[in-house]
């Protein structure tokens, strides 16, 4: 059953509190919106902490962002939400925040697009980075427009993250998933790097979407799609083609996620100068001691 406007106002208050409590926003950052009907949007007010909103603070606008009712004004970032609603008739709610780990990836220019977590592949597919755009200008909706048709979650370069969903909670949970994915990726990288899922396994996981009734906005890219318009019409997932094993050490993936191979067809191993020097030193020591130190 569709939720009433009163319930939606309370939902936004609750989700704002969660964004703030989790540290996904600081100060007055972030914004949330939901479709009220075919012509109206309910959204968070500007200049208020998302942790301390009340239902009466919300603003009702039309699809062009013109205020219909509310004592306060909508955020200037509402433009980005409106672009999403225009391009994604299926999107009923939008959440924007600055979760620190995911935003760290966005600042480093690293997309969350490796085939690492089965659940993420089944649901979001991959999380690309929308180009940097000045917040609150028309640049930002344009940057988001490029990827939003094929993705429910985006990183915004040097800014934050954006998620869309079939309702407010659905959009909010995707924000949690993105931050959780970023946290796990960071830990794995600290511990020496991710082991990634093979391409075959990724396609097997994609097959589970229909089984679990997950409605993704686009399929995972095939190899051919990746080279043409990948990311805009399909979801780029970095997963190597392998024979047999379903988990692969992420030592040498090219830009499209395929294992790099040398001219002889051997997988390439990359070492830093320091690692190479240590290996040589070790070998010299082993030879010097007669190789009998077990």
Nearer to Zn ion, 141 or 160 (CB): 160
Structure tokens at 225: 């799609």
- To 5 degrees, how large is the angle CA 94–CA 95–CA 97? 150
Stretch of 54-62, 152-160, 260-268, 278-286 contacting Zn ion, by CB under 5 A: 152-160
Grouping H, G, I as helix, E, B as strand and the rest as coil, residue 49 is coil
End-to-end CA distance of the chain: 70
Minimum CB distance to Zn ion, residue 159 (Å): 6
CB of 76 to Zn ion, least distance (A): 10
Of 116-124, 154-162, 186-194, 249-257, the segment contacting Zn ion by CB under 5 A is 154-162
Sole window of 50-58, 81-89, 155-163, 247-255 interacting with Zn ion (rule: CB under 5 A): 155-163
Tell me the two tokens of residue 104: 């760290």
Candidate segments 105-113, 153-161, 177-185, 240-248, binder of Zn ion by CB under 5 A: 153-161
Closest separation between CB of residue 230 and Zn ion, Å? 26
Nearer to Zn ion, 134 or 166 (CB): 134
Judged by beta carbon, residue 162 or residue 234, the one nearer Zn ion is 162
User: How near is the Cβ of 93 to Zn ion at its closest, in Å?
Assistant: 17
178 or 202: CB nearest Zn ion: 178
d(CA 59, CA 174): 24
**CB-nearest residue to Zn ion:** 160
Coil, helix or strand at residue 108: helix
- Tokens for 196, please give them: 């990634």
Cβ at position 273, least distance to Zn ion in Å: 40
- Separation in Å, CA 3 to CA 6, 34, 168: 8, 11, 10
Contact 112, 121 (CB under 8 A): no
* Shortest spacing between CB 73 and Zn ion, in angstroms: 16
Binding mask 157-186 for Zn ion (x = CB under 5 A): ---x--------------------------
Instruction: Copy the structure tokens of residue 49.
Output: 């902490």
Residue 44 or 238 having the CB closest to Zn ion: 44
Q: Return phi, psi of residue 264, to 5°.
A: -90, 0
State in angstroms the smallest separation of the CB of 38 from Zn ion: 27
Judging by DSSP bridges, how do beta strands 129-130 and 153-156 pair with one another?
A: parallel
∠ CA(236), CA(239), CA(240), 5° rounding? Answer: 135
Question: CA 125 to CA 120: how far, in whole Å?
Answer: 6
Cβ proximity to Zn ion: between 161 and 237 the closer is: 161
x/- map, 111-150, Zn ion, by CB under 5 A = ----------------------------------------
Compare residues 160 and 231 and give the one whose CB is closer to Zn ion. Answer: 160
Alpha-carbon distance of 167 to 199, in angstroms, equals: 31
Look-up of token digits 């609603």:
85
Q: Which of 152, 168, 12 is closest to 84 using CA atoms?
A: 152
- Contacts with Zn ion: how many residues (CB under 5 A)? 1
Looking at beta carbons only, is 81 or 92 nearer to Zn ion?
81
* Least Cβ distance, residue 12 to Zn ion (angstroms): 16
Where on the chain is the footprint of Zn ion (CB under 5 A)? Answer: 160
């Amino acid at each position: 059953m569709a939720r009433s406007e009163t319930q939606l106002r309370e939902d936004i208050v609750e989700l704002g509190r969660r964004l703030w409590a989790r540290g996904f926003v600081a100060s007055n950052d972030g914004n949330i919106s939901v479709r009220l009907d075919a012509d109206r949007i309910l959204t968070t007010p500007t200049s208020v902490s998302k942790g301390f909103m009340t239902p009466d603070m919300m603003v009702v606008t039309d699809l062009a962002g013109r205020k219909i009712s509310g004592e306060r004004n909508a955020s200037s970032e509402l433009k980005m939400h409106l672009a999403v609603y225009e391009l994604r008739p299926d999107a009923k709610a939008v959440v924007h925040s600055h979760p620190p780990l995911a935003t760290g990836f966005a600042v480093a220019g690293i997309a969350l697009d490796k085939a690492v977590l089965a659940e993420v592949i089944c649901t979001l597919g991959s999380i690309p980075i929308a180009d940097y755009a000045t917040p609150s200008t028309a640049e930002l909706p344009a940057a988001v427009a490029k990827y939003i048709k094929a993705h429910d979650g985006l990183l915004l370069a040097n800014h934050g993250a954006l998620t869309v969903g079939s309702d407010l909670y659905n959009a909010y949970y995707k924000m949690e998933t993105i931050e959780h994915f970023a946290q796990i990726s960071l830990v794995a990288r600290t511990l020496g790097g991710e082991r990634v899922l093979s391409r075959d396994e990724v396609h097997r996981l994609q097959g589970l979407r229909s089984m679990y009734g997950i409605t993704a906005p686009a399929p995972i890219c095939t190899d051919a799609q990746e080279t043409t318009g990948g990311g805009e019409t399909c979801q780029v997932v970095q997963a190597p083609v392998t024979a047999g094993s379903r988990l692969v050490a992420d030592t040498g993936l090219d830009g499209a996620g395929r294992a790099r191979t040398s001219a002889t067809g051997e997988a390439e191993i990359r070492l830093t100068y320091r690692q190479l020097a240590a290996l040589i030193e070790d070998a010299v020591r082993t030879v010097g001691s007669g190789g009998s130190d077990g």
